[in-house]
Amino acid sequence: MGDKMQDVYLDYQSSKPVDPRVVDAMLPYFSKSFGNPSSLHLVGDEATKVLEESRAKISAFIGADPEEIIFTSGATESNNLALIGFAMRNKRKGNHIIISEVEHISIHNIAKYLQRNGFEISKIPVDQYGRVNPAKLESRINEKTILVSIGYASNEVGTIQPMEKICEIVRDKDIALHTDAVAVQGLLPLDVKRMPVDLMSISSNDIYGPKGLGALYIRKGVGIVPIIIGGGQERGLRSGTENIPSIVGMAEAARISSLEMPEETMRMTEYRDRLIKGVLENIPKSHLNGHPTERLPNNAHFRFESVEGESLILSLKDLRIAASTGSACTSKTLEPSHTLIACGLLHEEAHGSLEFTLGRFSRETDIERVLEVLPGILERLRKISPLK
């Protein structure tokens, strides 16, 4: 995020700035209060106190109890711990796991790993908007199913899944439900009492906390085994000295998010709708990817006929505007997005996509700037496009 007026950052799904209030909260825990919670002296006690206070704040953010939170190095690790940790612990009950076609790449790759290790994986298809049909999910459950993992919303096309319905289906069966809630946190309230999932992955940076920290919610009574073995921190489920400054940062980020979410979400929705309307009305052969209404308040994901998303990104980059072609986790591959393909797009259609994600520091002028330059960029690129 630059300071100059012309800099526009609309790629909040890839990375968010750490909120300056979070940085302030973290600072004392680098050099002044630097203890290790495992130490028995006063400096260690101080670290234990702040660790547990932070855990309580983060658990409150999702309606959980503090002992249901395990700190990790980020959402990738939380997803690994949830799926591999649960699968390994419960493999005697069954070896069948269900995910959807539009999961984050980490879930797809963990599922592949489990498949190589004797588990059967079913992938639920989605509709054109990227939504899982709960009836289809139900029809794939069998007596060997032990776990269902469905992301709460797509970090790419922004579609929100019918999580309450999915919870209802899984609830009465002896099957655990995991959700990767990273795309949703800070945008919609999360409450594991109202939406009774068994495992939930969250991350710090997605609520404007530092990178490299996440958490896994594990409902009381749900059994998992650790995937990182060592000194037995985090109730033996995630060894390694706790990253206290980042944990304090995530707790402060969660506190701020709870307070500011309603106003922030309202503002982002207004900007997002203006951007979607402006693009669809002023740019011929433009389409919205993802669900028209069941979508994240910060997500505007488009498809433009006869252009490559990469050329759009580079033209915007020349004007100091940051957007994305989809998930940052896969943007360096030449493969089209698996999410867009799952929504039924052809390869060439998937390659013509452009994603804008708004955030806490987005301004009305950012939207105006995009709407001012994008029609001209498309006109120019289409003139020279071999895809016409």
Return residues touching ligand PMP (CB under 6 A): 74-76, 104, 106, 151, 155, 180, 182-183, 203, 214, 329
**Among candidate residues 316, 338, 317, the one with its CA nearest the CA of residue 327:** 338
Whether 291 contacts 130, CB under 8 Å: yes
Place of tokens 């940076």: 205
Q: Which is nearer to ligand PMP, 258 or 331 (CB)?
A: 331
In whole angstroms, the minimum distance from the beta carbon of 23 to ligand PMP comes to 18
User: Of residues 280, 329, 341, 371, which has the active-site annotation?
Assistant: 329
What six digits make up the tokens of 336? 């089209």
**Among candidate residues 181, 174, 177, the one with its CA nearest the CA of residue 196:** 177
Other CB atoms within 10 Å distance of the CB of residue 24? 11
Q: Which is nearer to ligand PMP, 213 or 377 (CB)?
A: 213
In whole angstroms, the minimum distance from the beta carbon of 86 to ligand PMP comes to 17
Q: Which is nearer to ligand PMP, 35 or 214 (CB)?
A: 214
The DSSP code for 219 is: -
Query: Is 167 a known active-site residue?
Result: no
Q: 186 — phi, psi (to 5°)?
A: 85, -15
Q: Which is nearer to ligand PMP, 82 or 183 (CB)?
A: 183
Q: Which is nearer to ligand PMP, 203 or 299 (CB)?
A: 203
Whether 29 contacts 341, CB under 8 Å: no
DSSP per-residue letters across 185-202: BTTB---TTTS--SEEEE
From CA 95, how far away is CA 10, in angstroms rounded?
Answer: 41
From CA 79, how far away is CA 181, in angstroms rounded?
Answer: 10
What residues pair up with 203 in beta bridges, in sequence order?
Answer: 214
From CA 127, how far away is CA 148, in angstroms rounded?
Answer: 18
Q: Which is nearer to ligand PMP, 100 or 155 (CB)?
A: 155
Exposure string over 122-135, b if 16+ CB within 10 A, otherwise e: bbbebeebbbbebe
Which amino acids are annotated catalytic?
Answer: 329
